[in-house]
Amino acid sequence: MATSTTTTDNNDIDLSLLRDRLVSIALEAGRVITGATPSTSSTSTGTKKNTADLVTETDQAVEAFISSKLSTLYPTFSFLGEETYQPGMKLGREPTFVVDPIDGTTNFVHRWPYVSVSLGFAVDRIPTVGVVYNPFTRRLYSGVRGQGSFVADVPDSATVSNRQKLPLKPLEPLAGLASSLIAIEWGSDRSGPNWAVKCSTWARLGASKDEGGAMVHSARALGSAALNLCAVAEGSIDAYWEGGCWAWDVCAGWVVLTEAGGGIVVDGNPPSRSGNANAQPARQDGDDASAWRIPVDHRKYLAVKGATAGQREFVEEFWSYVQGEMVYEH
């Protein structure tokens, strides 16, 4: 990770050029990924903290490639990547690339084609540019703060075409949970209080009204935080609830979502249980304001699609079904 502490104003950075460079790097990285042949039994596949937290030689090689490219193009900017992260590293206020070389490693080793190169860029700890590329479906998402977000096809793994502004359907009022499709993930931590909160919350979201549940239409799991956020940005999924992922999992997708018709990312814990000491200033009034403007490295997220009305009511209804408090260090 670079150690630069220089603060650079967004006005000094050509964000459109930076986005275009990230797109080129993502496409190159995608060709490396699709050319690899991982498997669950391969000697090139290892684990981190447990057998569900996988890492491959391809993850490491792709991050090294991305880091090298970015350090050449932007030598004074910092870099925070999943594979080179060390405990104690923090996202600072200086311009920083926030990178997950393969978001969806478990999918990758099982050859389930929901894998992404997630390239985020933050300034003053605010997600500012995001590029998310799935090299298997050849679907490319990009966004720049204040400039909107887009999805495009990459028909030959090198050429971008059919660029469309997000969301893909007209905005409309957001109905309640009972009419929603929710993205949720198991994650790699499968024990302890956080796991219990997740399991009990999933049960309440899915249970019938007679059983005290929200009875959402259904739940989905793409296996990639970045792609889950992009699905919310498209409008095909209404919300995504997650605890335990990291800034590199969400930074790029965060930009894509928040630039897609007013999508939002708020605290995954209800305000009375959020313990959010690092929240940014809020738009909303009241004691729960910090829960509405969380930092990108908060590690507990509820992402909700853009809508003409009903976002706040949807979030508050969702919070009412969260069973306990998720606690993650960041």
- Asked if 72 is an active-site residue, the reply is no
Query: 3-state SS of the chain: helix, strand, coil percent to 5?
Result: 30, 20, 45
- Asked if 82 is an active-site residue, the reply is yes
Q: Measured between alpha carbons, how far is residue 231 from residues 17, 29, 44, 207, 307 in Å?
A: 25, 21, 30, 24, 15
Q: Which of 82, 234, 238, 267 is catalytic?
A: 82
Q: Which of 63, 83, 94, 100 is catalytic?
A: 100
Q: Which of 238, 249, 259, 288 is catalytic?
A: 249
- Asked if 172 is an active-site residue, the reply is no
DSSP-based three-state secondary structure for 70: helix
Q: What is the crossing angle of helices 225-234 and 247-258, to 10°?
A: 10
Q: Both tokens of residue 191? A: 């024990």
Q: Which of 25, 33, 102, 182 is catalytic?
A: 102
Rounded-to-integer distance, Cα 70 and Cα 109, Å:
26
Q: Is 249 annotated as a binding residue?
A: yes
Q: Which residues pair with 265 in a beta bridge?
A: 303
Q: Which of 58, 96, 105, 128 is catalytic?
A: 105
Q: Which of 103, 234, 259, 267 is catalytic?
A: 103
- Asked if 210 is an active-site residue, the reply is no
Q: Is 103 annotated as a binding residue?
A: yes
- Asked if 124 is an active-site residue, the reply is no
Name 124's Cβ contacts closer than 8 Å, sequence gap at least 6: 7, 93
Task: Report the run of H or E that residue 118 belongs to, with start and end.
Answer: strand 116-123
Q: Is 100 annotated as a binding residue?
A: yes
Rounded-to-integer distance, Cα 39 and Cα 126, Å:
36
- Asked if 20 is an active-site residue, the reply is no
- Residues annotated in a binding site for Mg(2+): 82, 100, 102-103, 249
Q: Give the residue numbers of the binding site.
A: 82, 100, 102-103, 249
Catalytic residues: 82, 100, 102-103, 105, 249
